[in-house]
């Protein structure tokens, strides 16, 4: 267990629907880009951030200088594979928002040397000056990116084995459970915590318990998302269902 640095700095925004959550998130990102056109955005996949990406497309904003780094990638899926996260980011973020593809980076899931790819990806984030806003979803088991329980709060970008529950959760995107990769490259919790602002989004009853534990539960590596309580600047956007288990809002 880790001590919270006095009061937690987690700001909670509760909205009625996931679409409204997307609009609130997009406003936060848009404000950053107006101030810093070449801001570095940390990009998450999964369904939770999709309304944010959609709403960001509706903001009157020049995104041509924006840079981005994905959180994670399945090992064994090339960037053109329809279920690779690189492909999801290409479809949902790069194309939707008209971003410059060369400015958006994902780990190579088909690399011959995954450990080397992980450390080089980490170095690329550092060379870009770090992440300004890291968009995050949360796994129902409390994972952030693919940092499964338990994951060290100091962990760096690395190869990980996926939890059975994560493979089952994510099987909905694949033809069958067997098709879900067993390993991934993920930014570590230490890497993620270096982003200057964490923006976590969760929707639906399925995420209510995970959201409550992340925000109000014990800070422990057994529940990776509780790491947010140690970060100086965190915004969590929840729809009504995802906020339903919080003790205090």
Distance CA 215, CA 94 (A): 31
DSSP reduced 3-state for 242:
coil
For residues 105 and 125, give the distance between their C-alpha atoms in angstroms, rounded to a whole number.
Answer: 9
Considering beta carbons, is residue 32 or 201 the nearer one to ligand GLP?
201
Check residue 53 for interaction with ligand GLP (CB under 6 A).
no
Sheet containing 72-74: order of strands: 72-74, 183-186, 158-161
- The nearer residue to ligand GLP, 39 or 138, going by C-beta atoms, is 138
Distances (CA, A) of 42 to 104, 141, 175, 196, 225: 10, 21, 28, 10, 16
For residue 219, the minimal CB distance to ligand GLP (Å) is 19
Site string for ligand GLP, 144-183 (x = CB under 6 A): -xx-------------------x---x-------------
Work out whether 25 is an interface residue with ligand GLP (CB under 6 A): no
Burial class (CB in 10 A: 0-12, 13-18, 19+), 237: buried
- The reply on whether position 239 binds ligand GLP by CB under 6 A is no
Sequence-separated (6 or more) residues with CB below 8 Å from residue 211:
138, 202, 236, 238, 242, 243, 245, 246
**Can residue 46 be called a binding residue for ligand GLP (CB under 6 A)?**
yes
139 scored as a contact of ligand GLP (CB under 6 A): yes
Q: Mask of contacts with ligand GLP, 92-131, x by CB under 6 A?
A: ----------------------------------------
Among residues 48, 187, 226, 229, the one that binds ligand GLP under rule CB under 6 A: 48
Q: Which of 138, 160, 213, 225 is close enough to bind ligand GLP by CB under 6 A?
A: 138
Structure tokens at 8: 């937690």
Assess 72 for contact with ligand GLP (CB under 6 A). yes
CB 223 within 8 A of CB 213: yes
56-91: b (≥16 Cβ within 10 Å) or e: beebebebeebbbbbbbbbbebebeeeebbbbbbbe
Q: Interface with ligand GLP includes 22 (CB under 6 A)?
A: no
Which part of the chain contacts ligand GLP (CB under 6 A), choosing from 27-35, 61-69, 132-140, 233-241? 132-140
Q: Which residues bind ligand GLP (CB under 6 A)?
A: 44-48, 71-72, 137-139, 145-146, 166, 170
């Amino acid at each position: 267990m880790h001590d919270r640095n006095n009061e937690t700095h987690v700001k909670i925004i509760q909205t009625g629907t996931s679409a409204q959550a997307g609009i609130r998130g997009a406003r936060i990102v848009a404000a950053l880009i107006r101030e810093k056109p070449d801001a570095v955005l940390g990009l998450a996949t999964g369904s939770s951030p999709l309304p944010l990406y959609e709403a960001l497309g509706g903001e009157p904003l020049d995104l041509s200088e924006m840079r981005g780094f994905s959180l994670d990638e399945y090992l064994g899926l090339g960037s053109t594979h329809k279920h690779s996260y690189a492909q999801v980011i290409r479809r949902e973020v790069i194309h939707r928002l008209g971003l410059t593809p060369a400015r958006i980076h994902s780990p190579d899931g088909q690399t011959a040397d995954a450990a080397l790819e992980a450390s080089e990806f980490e170095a690329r984030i550092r060379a870009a000056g770090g992440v300004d806003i890291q968009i995050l979803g949360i796994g129902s088991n409390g994972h952030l990116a693919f940092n499964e329980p338990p994951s060290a709060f100091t962990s760096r970008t690395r190869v990980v084995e996926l939890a059975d529950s994560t493979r089952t959760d994510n099987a909905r995107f694949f033809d069958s459970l067997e098709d879900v990769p067993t390993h991934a490259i993920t930014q570590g919790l230490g890497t993620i915590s270096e982003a200057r602002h964490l923006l976590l989004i969760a929707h639906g009853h399925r995420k209510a318990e995970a959201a409550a534990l992340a925000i109000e539960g014990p800070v422990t590596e057994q529940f990776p998302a509780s790491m947010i309580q140690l970060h100086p600047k965190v915004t969590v956007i929840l729809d009504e269902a995802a906020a339903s288990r919080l003790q205090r809002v």
